[in-house]
Amino acid sequence: MTPYKTALRTPSDKVEIYSLAALANGLDPQPDYIPSPYAKPKAQDEFYFISGKAPLTSVHASLMEPMKFIGERSVWINPKDAERLGIRSGDVVELEIIDTGIKARAKVKVTKRVREGVLFVYSNMYNWMSKLLPEDHFAKKK
């Protein structure tokens, strides 16, 4: 419906990419650029570590057994980074969070799904079934 049949609720009836409140108070209505608080990786074996989910890890898939859909839990690495470090899919690596010193070991999946300089891991991926679901929740209905 919006914006084809119903106008947007803005003074121009269009998308406005500036702050009207700031403009009304005599301030610059455009957002200010703020550089990232994160430092760029300094060494060749340092990475940004991110977590997230993919369409297959929706709420419903998380309630079931997510490993059926995404396979074994692993850390994803870009092929260029993996080649530079001599890592192949299935290798086990040790990861360390520089700020805290926390270490963990994980299997690696080499994939183009992540950018260079980034390691990715699924969030909320526990191999469990919610105890709140009735036992027959996923049974075939007649």
* Tens digits of residue pLDDT in 88-106: 999 999 998 877 888 888 8
CA–CA separation, 122 vs 105, rounded Å?
Answer: 15
What are the structure tokens assigned to 105, written together? 């070991």
* CA–CA distance, 66 with 90 (Å, rounded to integer): 19
Q: Does domain 48-122 fall into CATH 2.40.10.220?
A: no
Question: What residue ranges of the chain have pLDDT lower than 50?
Answer: 125-127
What pLDDT, on the 0 to 100 scale, is given for residue 125? Answer: 47
Domains in the chain: boundaries: 1-34, 48-122
pLDDT of residue 130: 58
